[in-house]
Amino acid sequence: MSGLAGRQEALVRALVGGGGLPAGFDARLVGAAAKALLRKRSGEIVRAWPELAGSEAEIVRWAEGRPSLGSWRDGWEFAREHRESLGRDALTALVVCEVRWIHGGEPRRRRGPVVRRVPGGAVFGAFGRRVVLRR
Amino acid sequence: MTGVGIGWRPEIAAFVGALPGPAFTEVVAESLHHIDPALLPDVPVVPHGVKLSLGGAGEVDPARVRLLAEAAELVRAPLVSEHVAFVRAGGLEAGHLLPVPRSRESLDALTRNIRLTLAELDVPLAVEPIAALFDWPDDEFTEGEFLTELLDRTGARLLLDVANVYANARNRGRDPVAVLESFPLDRVAYVHVAGGAEHDGLYHDTHAHALPQEVLALVAETARRVPDHLGYLLERDGDYPPAADLVRELDAVADAASLPRIT
């Protein structure tokens, strides 16, 4: 690994991976850049998961020190970890997502039939299709 | 490309499509394969890459270079653009453009990666110096010297972002016009213009706030120093304002550059 590769990695780790500040950098300015990256990432997560709108500040706190898996998977992880406190639309979006995809590592499509409860109804999924039914 | 344009984004597709006379547009290169080309206005389209990581210590990913070359073919682009920046390292994505150290080692890495990219492209490449809140502790060159050397070595052209010049100068207490003059202005392919906002005492080049007068002043300074009429492109990437505000900003850019209004 060349010096540059190692130094770039240390900087990215400090910015988004919870790593320490590499020697010689201005802590205030790198900290401001890290915060700006978190705000941008939070906005991208909400674009991928519009049902999480309003949770941006919470997402920023959650994302700190946690490297990104991409905005859609980040949103999924956030929603899973906040399942108990999600609003009705966000919880429905999470259940619909999990009817379609199997969580863990690279997401895989669920093939067999599945039924999950959502607030006020249920989601049925099979063969890549899904239907939300509400009372 | 001469005249004023605006960056095409799905959220403002209807606005951009309805403009009577944009000179050109720009599309985020990594999104081009998901866009129906019929949605784009019938003007030159520049694919603008954001994830190639030309400034990364390692070699550019050939698949990403191919994607950029395919994007250029897809829209018959007159040129493509990317950044003097890196976006990932050690398997970690930074999520945005990060500054490279202005060192010899970094120049070598950028030169190699720009050459690898140019080898796959049938059109010219313009590279954009970024807005950065911090610098590396061991910069050996000024930004102007670094860019001039990089363009000399690679034959790439300059995508001059006057909002980045303003942001960097303001946050470092420098004169933006002096910074502008230190850049290789004889090699400008086109110009980016964007808004930003101050946050905790630092100016952030957000592309999601109004265009400050100081950035418009740099448009005028650029037009004075580069008398061949250039292309000036307004970038907006979020918190999209009402159409009337975008019209006002596009008119202000045209007026500052002494170019015809496109609205």
| Nearest chain A residue to B199, by CA | A32
CA distances from A34 to A13, A30, A61, B133, B241 (A): 10, 6, 12, 10, 27
Q: What is the pLDDT of residues B42-70, one digit of tens each?
A: 999 999 999 999 999 999 999 999 999 99
Q: Read off the tokens for B8.
A: 């095409």
Domain boundary among A71, A97, A115: A71
What was the pLDDT predicted at A135? Answer: 74
What was the pLDDT predicted at A1? Answer: 43
Domain that holds residue A106: 87-135
Query: What average pLDDT score do residues B15-28 get?
Result: 95
A24 touches B: beta carbon within 8 Å: yes
Does the residue A125 lie in any domain? yes
What was the pLDDT predicted at A2? Answer: 53
ipTM: 0.94
Q: How confident is the model at residue B261 (pLDDT cuts 50, 70, 90)?
A: very high
CA distances from B228 to B2, B152, B156, B187, B220 (A): 9, 21, 19, 11, 13
Does the residue A78 lie in any domain? no
CA distances from A88 to A59, A77, A118 (A): 18, 17, 8
Give me the residues of chain A with pLDDT under 50, please.
Answer: 1
Mean of pLDDT over chain B: 96
Q: Read off the tokens for A31.
A: 């900290």
Q: Does the beta-carbon distance from B105 to A3 stay under 8 Å?
A: yes
- For chain B, domains (ranges, CATH) are 3-256 (3.20.20.150)
Residues A6 and A62 in one domain: yes
Res B212 pLDDT > 90: yes
Does the residue A77 lie in any domain? no
Å between B50 CA and nearest CA of chain A: 14
SS (H, E, C) A16-85: HCCCCCCCCCCHHHHHHHHHHHHHHHHHHHHHHCHHHCCCHHHHHHHHCCCCCCCHHHHHHHHHHHCHHH
Q: Does the beta-carbon distance from A16 to B94 stay under 8 Å?
A: yes
Res B203 pLDDT > 70: yes
Residue B228 or residue B81, greater confidence: B81
Q: Does the beta-carbon distance from A2 to B138 stay under 8 Å?
A: no
Residues A12 and A60 in one domain: yes
Q: Does the beta-carbon distance from A15 to B94 stay under 8 Å?
A: yes
Domain boundary among A32, A47, A71: A71
What percent of chain B clears pLDDT 70, i.e. is strictly above it? 100
Within 13 Å, how many C-alpha atoms sit on residue A115's CB side? Answer: 4
Residues A1 and A44 in one domain: yes
Does the residue A79 lie in any domain? no
Rounded CA separation A13/A23 (Å): 13
Q: Which residues of chain A are within 8 Å of residue B199 when distances are taken between CB atoms?
A: 32, 36
Å between B261 CA and nearest CA of chain A: 32
B133 touches A: beta carbon within 8 Å: yes
Cβ atoms of B162 and B193 within 8 Å: the answer is yes
| B25, β-bridge pairs | B6, B45
What was the pLDDT predicted at A128? Answer: 72
In terms of residues, how long is chain B? 263
Q: Read off the tokens for A83.
A: 């399942």
3 state SS of B7: strand
Residues A62 and A91 in one domain: no
Does the residue A117 lie in any domain? yes
Can you give the pTM of this predicted structure? Answer: 0.92
What percent of chain B clears pLDDT 90, i.e. is strictly above it? 92
